[in-house]
Structure 1
């Protein structure tokens, strides 16, 4: 795949980039290694000053960088601006909380004495240069939610971004440089996917984090495992959105539309499978389908657009294959299931609701990365849980109920990294984020995320 900006709204190639040579890649790794040796000793106050400076610059650049993101990967520009604001929030959150999150931990005094020590504590130290392999769907947020905690912990970053967002990747490197970070603290590597292995095998690169597809995660995990290096993986998701009889059905249906089409449906944590109790199924379905039909599909730079183009022609073709497979095996499209009329340019697809899904259909277990919802009628809570768990993924989940016993049951039995009750999944810097099963391992954000790339050092003194 070439490293290029290709506008998804019209398919026009706007700018191409030559990949870095092996020699230049080596220079950047060496620069990261040298930068870490100095940066690791900086105080939390100095790190916070730099992070706050970067956040301020990003805030000032909001409109310009949002337009760049939209041009590169197609999300509605209003969503791109919201992504910028979310990044600024996370950067400032870590600038203010990193020191307390990484404060020394002191065991109970009785346990210290029992260990034979006069004193004991756990001290967190940074690991070194970390390789971040990041996707195109949230090209700012996915990077910042790694970079903010990693840099505040004293690590340095090497970014291998998706090949279709090279200008966003270069902007991020420039952002940290403008904020005053030393050369080498955060660098973008414009390289092909084939170059990841050599970078990860370099002994100066100590760990890796990847957000992306399951095959990409398997590859990075295998290489890192062979090198005995730490990894954090956030992979695919096919999150359930469960509606029970006690729910506010009207609110659930409104939220369901947003939960499915956020980022034009190209989000790992977007709700994709809607499991609705038979007692409220008809009411929910009528409102949900009406909401999907009312969405405006169009130019992502238009403020009125709700759903933009998919990020690539291949992405749309993959989505169409899932829909067509389901329809061929008996599913029914309640709306959409086609390209918009007159959309002969750009990679658009209408918001779609499919019902009559069976376990023979690919869409039952595969992730649909676009504005396509799978709708199921369930008879009780057990059936909802069974269908929800009948996928290889376990990223997050959404449950709508006002029955506390049902909430407890969902929290106990849903195989997911999160359970969001009477709302939709959303990441926040204060809450850990990640999944189970083939959705990956490890956690980002909160204290869990900043400690992923730290050495928890036991300090024991007699």
Structure 2
């Protein structure tokens, strides 16, 4: 039996050790989850939403404990973990409102009715949803799938082994709501058992947030599952939200102070740069380039690496430790060898034995460098000078990824041109690296399979659809 362990990325102390469930043990939990689904799915959506809202109080009560646990398990500064919790609850409240406002009501086709045709499309829960959550935003990434699944009438098996305290808290909050038990079961399983669950388990959908390679592994398991004739549902879908190489364009009429706040402080440095939708490459119009670089340098040099429990710390340790630092430095070194200039950073520093990468700003870059083509999951930012909007948009589109892109401009016409020209899951104007529950969260190309989480559409994405085709011409009564 594989033992799963986790060490504090700052102190290197062991913070979690637990044996993986076997598939046999997991099968018993799946059976409980399936039985719970059959009861929960019959509850009116308004009542489900009321119970979910009540369950959110558990998170409010556990703010101090869970923010400390997140700092210890993945290195996020405690203040940032508290912020994540606050916005996670807001996100969940939005989803409850969408459910209450009728997002899951039958799609009304009254305008197409005739004397012998009445039709609508019905939304009901799928069954057991298997959700795999990553470490970088452990609350955000979990709630995206969990809230949509539960409100839509599904039950959840949650794998959260890289920040296990969050998985346990989600089970504490959502596992039993009202008279309904086993609505969310948190599991500790390794990669092999997870793959076996997808290939052999009685589940109805997989929600995965993580790396591109992880997404490919999920799809391979789903493909093998399709050959398993013993399953009630051999063909299932996956919702995949994967990595990216998100671009930002600072147009010549941009508000520079606002652009610096968003693109650097929020876009690149938040969570030590460990965000799927962080700004990872910036294109700046030549007229603003030098001023942008100097302001970006000042912001980066003001950041403080250190203990995530220290209030003065703004950047916690990278989750992957020295290996993650080396990966980022290899991108910087490749760029330097091809003519790029390191404006600040490009070196490590050690705090209490923990190795950090200083926030790194790189200029004089081009698309022949790995740093402009690969995902940089940390505080490293390449900045490229451009001379026109057209050049910027062409370079932004030169990627295999498709999660987000952003523009900073004072012109509505320029913004509209940007929005019309590009194809990404989310396009931002005068903001970046933020997820709004009122809008769907979507990844295209190597960043996902176009599935939607959040927004009213996210509720429908985790629902089975049934077409109701009725000839009512001979029916009596209302």
- Give the TM-score band, short-chain normalised: over 0.9
Residue among 208, 231, 240 paired with 2:238? 231
Provide TM-score, normalisation by structure 2: 0.92
Q: Could you tell me which of 253, 257, 273 is aligned with 2:281?
A: 273
Aligned partners of 2:420 and 2:3: how far apart in 1? Answer: 45
Match of 1:185 in 2: 183
How far did residue 129 of structure 1 move? 0.3
What is the alpha-carbon distance in structure 2 between the residues aligned to residue 384 and residue 365 of structure 1?
15
**2:19 corresponds to:** 18
Alpha-carbon distance between aligned partners in 2 of 1:7 and 1:180, rounded to the nearest angstrom: 36
Q: How does 1:111-260 map to 2 (within 5 A)?
A: 111-113=112-114, 116-117=116-117, 119-161=118-160, 163-177=161-175, 179-180=177-178, 182-202=180-200, 204-226=202-224, 227=226, 228-258=235-265, 259-260=267-268
2:66 touches 2:165 (CA, 8 Å); kept in 1?
A: no
Q: Please say if residues 23 and 196 of structure 2, whose CA atoms lie closer than 8 Å, have aligned partners that are also in contact.
A: no
Give the alignment's Cα RMSD to 1 decimal: 1.7
Structure 1 unaligned regions, length at least 5: none
Q: Deviations over 1:191-225 (max 9, x none)?
A: 11122221112352011111100011011123224
How far has the Cα of 1:405 moved from its partner? 2.2
Is 2:442 aligned against 1:444?
no
- What displacement does 1:433 show? 0.8
Correspondence for 2:348 among 339, 343, 347: 339
Equivalent residue for 2:364, pick from 351, 356, 363: 356
- Of 288, 313, 325 in structure 2, the residue corresponding to residue 316 of structure 1 is 325
Looking at structure 1, the residues matched to 179 and 352 of structure 2 have their Cα atoms a distance apart, in angstroms, of: 45
Q: Distance in 1 between matches of 2:22 and 2:201?
A: 19
Give the Å deviation of 1:88: 1.2
**Partner of residue 292, structure 2:** 284
SS of match in other structure, 1:295: coil
In the aligned structure 2, how far is the partner of 1:338 from the partner of 1:164?
27
Runs of 5+ consecutive residues of structure 2 not aligned to the other structure: 227-234, 472-478
Check conservation: 1:4, 1:166, Cα contact below 8 A. Answer: no
* Cα distance, 1:172–1:206 mapped onto 2, change above 3 Å: same
Say which of 423, 426, 430 aligns to 1:418: 426
Matched residues in 2 for 1:62 and 1:38: separation?
31
Q: Is the 8 A contact 1:4 1:165 kept in 2?
A: no
Does the residue aligned with 2:268 lie in a helix, a strand or coil?
helix
Q: Could you tell which deviates more after superposition, 427-436 or 271-280?
A: 427-436
Return the offset for 1:347: 4.2
In the alignment, structure 1 residue 32 sits paired with structure 2 residue 39: no
Decide whether aligned partners of structure 1 residues 159 and 451 sit closer, same or farther in structure 2, where only a CA change above 3 A counts.
same
Deviations 1:277-317 (A, max 9, x none): 00111111111111111112211111222111101223223
Aligned to 1:453: 462
User: Quick one: distance in 1 between partners of 2:446 and 2:179?
Assistant: 36
Q: Normalising to structure 1: TM-score of the pair?
A: 0.95
Matched with 1:9 is 10
Mapped to 2, the partners of 1:185 and 1:193 lie a distance apart of 23
With 166-175 and 259-268 compared, the bigger mean Cα shift is at 166-175
Q: Is 1:390–2:398 an aligned residue pair? A: yes
Q: Distance in 1 between matches of 2:5 and 2:355?
A: 17
Give the drift of 1:71: 0.7
